[in-house]
Structure 1
Amino acid sequence: MQSFRAPLASPLFRQTPSFPFMHASEQNQVFAIIDQHATRAHEASAAWAHSSPTVRSGVLRALADALDARANELAVMADEETGLGIPRLTGEIARTSFQLRGFADEVVAGVPYVQVDDEAIPGPPPSGRPRLTRVMVPIGPVAVFAASNFPFAFSVLGGDTASALAAGCPVIVKPHGGHPRLSIEVAKIAAEVLRAQGVEEGVFSMLDCDMSRDANIHLVKHPLIAGVAFTGSYQGGVALWRAANEREIPIPFFGELGSINPVVVLPAALHDDPVAPAKVLAASMLQGCGQFCTSPGVIVVVDDQRGREFVSALGDSLAGQATHRMLSEGIRNGFEDAVARIKANANIEVVLEGNEAGAGPAPRLFQTTGAAFIADASLHEEMFGPAAVVVMVPSVDAIPDVLSAVKGSLTVTIWGGDQDNHENREIVRVAQNIGGRVLFSGVPTGVAVTRAQQHGGPWPASTDPKTTSVGYAALQRFLRPVALQDAPEWLLQRA
């Protein structure tokens, strides 16, 4: 366990002593810090829940403006900690401020304040009824677990924080250890904005202390925490999801846990040219050194001449490509371990195992048969990095069974499915069963922030497939419907 970082001067951060190791007494002090954050968030909850659209949207827009004003400096700081590159990080800051402003627009439009009113009808039921007004109530303080691979868009002021604040919920951020200096700086910016806006302390705070597994669970189980948003590993997410459900009063846990994002390459997509699609897919696999939650991990191809040419071209497109360093040594080690397990599988053929040409790992490409993939669950596991498994099937009819073996996925991509026929309809049906987003062109690496977006999928992609962590519907996660029956007018106006 690393030593604690120095405390921030802002009152939004609890002062934390510096210890070289986490002993029992030190852990108790971390628990006490969490308790302080949760108490302050709880105390601020009622006022923020009833904040006006003008106040709430003003805070979100001010946060976006503050990020943009420091974009160049923050991108450099993020690159030093993550190695993701200035162009990528500059674009991510723009996305983060864009979605903050987008949630502000949703607030002004009245989305978190929507009411559905059924007027009373005299007479006995079932035709008669009282007046019923359905309103949306913020659930309360939300713990946000930041991600490693998007140090802005899924971090301190990322989509989970923005959507929770837009819904009227205070936020406590547990930052990711992969970019601590950046997290502290962004939290300072947020603290300054909230003070300037006159927002009550407790609406936003960040835990600026080292968090053990037990401390993370203490946060999730804290009785004043009303919900959790998590983006990270399957193992860590499942542990916290279980903790949320083991509470005396369980709370919603919105977790994104990992995905292998199958890409189905139908013969129609390769009819004219198998090389160009291979280059497009290779670029998607390499983007961010394969550290996107939507990175293609399984590629399903019909085993015919064009299909084999496509796989060969994909290997050629990946060969010799330089990758940047991965986010952490732990992630790099996890990637190499996953690759080694796949390579050791008796049903796997190595298509590409190149030499490292950059600071990151060499791209890897493996191949297996549809029957072997379906039978072996170990081939369905995510390799978080620039690698994928090609599944060769004897015909298009075999593709639905391969997709069904995948279980839940954030995305499924289908190239060449433009014709309305029985085979394509069946592939699309299964794709919709297992995926949160089904693409018919382009690549899955790239998630637009819109009202129609769905970034979530059946288990194990996410813990609640009915919700999304990207797009403006994300704020619905943190609202709970309440029906008011024959409510007085003062209450309806206040709601």
Structure 2
Amino acid sequence: MSAIPVPVWSIDPRTGERREQAAEEATEAAVDAAVRAARTALGPLADRAVRSAFLRTAAGLLDEARPELVALADSETALGTTRLGGELTRTCYQLRQFADAVDAGSFLDVIISHPDSSATPPVPDLRRYKVPLGVVAVYAASNFPFAFSVAGGDTASALAAGCPVVVKAHPDHPATSEATVAVLRRAAARHGLPAGVAGLVHGFDAGVTLVAHPLVAAASFTGSVRGGRALFDAAAARPRPIPFHGELGSLNPVVVTGPAATERAEDIGTGLAASMTMGVGQFCVKPGLVLVPADAAGDRLVKALGQSLVDVAPGVMLDHRMRDAFVSGVGERSRLPSVETPVAPAPGDAHTVAAALLTVPADRLAAEDGPHDLLLEECFGPVTVVVRYEDQAQADAVLGRLPGNLTATLHVSAQEASSGSAADLLARLAPLAGRVLVNSWPTGVAVAPAQHHGGPYPATTSTSTSVGLTATERWLRPVAYQNTPEALLPPELREGNPLGLPRTVDGRREG
């Protein structure tokens, strides 16, 4: 890392021009200082009442700063004030939701087994709950400057678990990151928490240094397969390996049955167009591979999809590097044998992209290690690949070659839905993804207790979720106390349940 300060510039993606210097890249010493400052916050953050109040205050202050934050984020991402306003609302909502979870205490997962001498072997007095891992490194995402960035779900869930964070800011929105962490620190000050409870560093080298720091206990990442895998490997190669929860890439396959296409081809086509172009196709759950019957009903669906895409205005991607990768990626895929381009990206200016649609016969994807394997890799941006299948065997062959995904979607007819005749097909999708949808679209991830945002590799590097209340599980580890005198037990595990926590006692749920 350079000892000479390296400026971090805020860039306007609509023009490619520098807006302002937002920060400086963190030196190795600065990363160390941020991690050590976070470490000092572990003690103060242990008070559940303090940290739930901190999360609620943070939500309130973010809401108060809404005009400034939304305008700033739009200037750095071109995602639009309407979309960003909704994303900030979601971010504030999940902070409050995690505050409620902290107060309820269910995430501590208190389990008590009283002594039982009649069991084989005999059961001693055992009392188990979960404790924070320590400092968490959060690698912010490019496409969600609020919901998956400095104050996003990874940060909120880590703080709720009692873990301070050091965020590695994404270079696409450094000024937004600085403004957001300032809000979190104001909230922390109101509750006597040190500013280090929410650290922030900039720069590629800083990110590499952060994951290797001996006081970092776990890490989260949302981004590319290449970048995420490099950090994952670095986390595993440490003298003391740490959990690394990475979200790396996803095709999010969709299967449309023949009866569904016959029943509502046009509706499915227009719905797909809206989903795949949402946010200029820069959602991690964008449907990128769609299996459609190779018949007249499938033709109608593809026609409706193409007509809808033509009406979508060109958009600005998050940065020019992503734009160039999208243009070259679509071009490379469109040149493969038997790949057709019903909607080719229209020529635009140097800053925008138009939606694209590619089609390919299913048999081209059935062969192992062929050139068409490129179609089984995510292309970030507003493009989808429609795979035309002749029969269910062809569809199954394609599904059998897919990597892990965040989502998998099945569109069935009303008769298939009511009779259950598509149950076997739905069961074949479940091993491919962490969230399985029927007759809907994957874009839009609700923040709810039952939500799961994760999936088999390379969608994620673990089995955990990054959205929903169970996201706290990533930052906790269980500890069991055996035959421990009451006076020595943590209050959470004492017999009289002085904190009024939900718990399981001798197999029975209480509270």
Indicate whether the TM-score tops 0.5.
yes
1:169 corresponds, among 124, 145, 163, to: 163
Task: Give how far 1:421 is off.
Answer: 7.3
- What is the rounded CA distance, in whole Å, between the counterparts of 1:292 and 1:182 in structure 2? 19
2:175 corresponds, among 161, 176, 181, to: 181
- What is the rounded CA distance, in whole Å, between the counterparts of 1:454 and 1:404 in structure 2? 23
Task: Give how far 1:353 is off.
Answer: 0.5
Query: What letter is aligned with 1:380?
Result: L
SS state at 2:185 partner: helix
What residue number does 1:3 align with? 6
SS state at 1:95 partner: helix
Q: 1:348 to 1:231 in 2, by over 3 A?
A: same
- What is the rounded CA distance, in whole Å, between the counterparts of 1:290 and 1:170 in structure 2? 33
What residue number does 1:477 align with? 474
Task: Give how far 1:370 is off.
Answer: 1.2
- What is the rounded CA distance, in whole Å, between the counterparts of 2:488 and 2:218 in structure 1? 26
- What is the rounded CA distance, in whole Å, between the counterparts of 2:490 and 2:241 in structure 1? 31
1:276 corresponds, among 242, 246, 267, to: 267
Describe how 1:316-331 pairs up with structure 2 within 5 A: 316-331=307-322
Query: What letter is aligned with 2:444?
Result: G
Query: What letter is aligned with 2:7?
Result: F
What residue number does 1:463 align with? 461
SS state at 1:255 partner: strand
What residue number does 2:32 align with? 35
Describe how 1:26-105 pairs up with structure 2 within 5 A: 30-48=27-45, 50-52=46-48, 54-105=49-100
Of stretches 278-287 and 159-168 in structure 1, the one that deviates more from structure 2 is: 278-287
What residue number does 1:157 align with? 151
Contact 2:363 2:394 in 1 (8 A): no
Q: 1:410 to 1:200 in 2, by over 3 A?
A: same
Of stretches 354-363 and 390-399 in structure 1, the one that deviates more from structure 2 is: 354-363
| Identical aligned residues as a percent | 41
What residue number does 1:453 align with? 451
- What is the rounded CA distance, in whole Å, between the counterparts of 1:199 and 1:429 in structure 2? 48
Residues 125-162 of structure 1 show CA distances to partners (whole Å, capped at 9, x for unaligned) of: 51522101111011110000000100000010000000
Of stretches 349-358 and 68-77 in structure 1, the one that deviates more from structure 2 is: 349-358
2:226 corresponds, among 235, 253, 258, to: 235
- What is the rounded CA distance, in whole Å, between the counterparts of 2:325 and 2:301 in structure 1? 29
Asked if 1:217 is matched to 2:213, the reply is no
1:360 corresponds, among 340, 346, 352, to: 352
Contact 1:399 1:427 in 2 (8 A): no
What residue number does 2:137 align with? 143
Q: 1:467 to 1:361 in 2, by over 3 A?
A: same
Task: Give how far 1:240 is off.
Answer: 0.2
What residue number does 1:408 align with? 404
Asked if 1:398 is matched to 2:394, the reply is yes
Q: 1:238 to 1:228 in 2, by over 3 A?
A: same
What residue number does 1:192 align with? 186
Greater percentage in strand: 2
What residue number does 2:364 align with? 372
- What is the rounded CA distance, in whole Å, between the counterparts of 1:114 and 1:56 in structure 2? 18
Query: How many aligned positions are there?
Result: 471
SS state at 2:219 partner: strand
Query: What letter is aligned with 1:296?
Result: P
Using the size of structure 2 for normalisation, the TM-score is 0.88
- Name structure 1 gaps, 5 residues minimum: 7-17, 23-28
- What is the rounded CA distance, in whole Å, between the counterparts of 1:491 and 1:458 in structure 2? 42
Query: What letter is aligned with 2:75?
Result: E
Contact 2:168 2:206 in 1 (8 A): no
Contact 1:96 1:153 in 2 (8 A): yes
What residue number does 1:118 align with? 113
Of stretches 29-38 and 187-196 in structure 1, the one that deviates more from structure 2 is: 29-38
- What is the rounded CA distance, in whole Å, between the counterparts of 2:236 and 2:320 in structure 1? 32
Contact 2:107 2:470 in 1 (8 A): no
- What is the rounded CA distance, in whole Å, between the counterparts of 2:278 and 2:108 in structure 1? 39
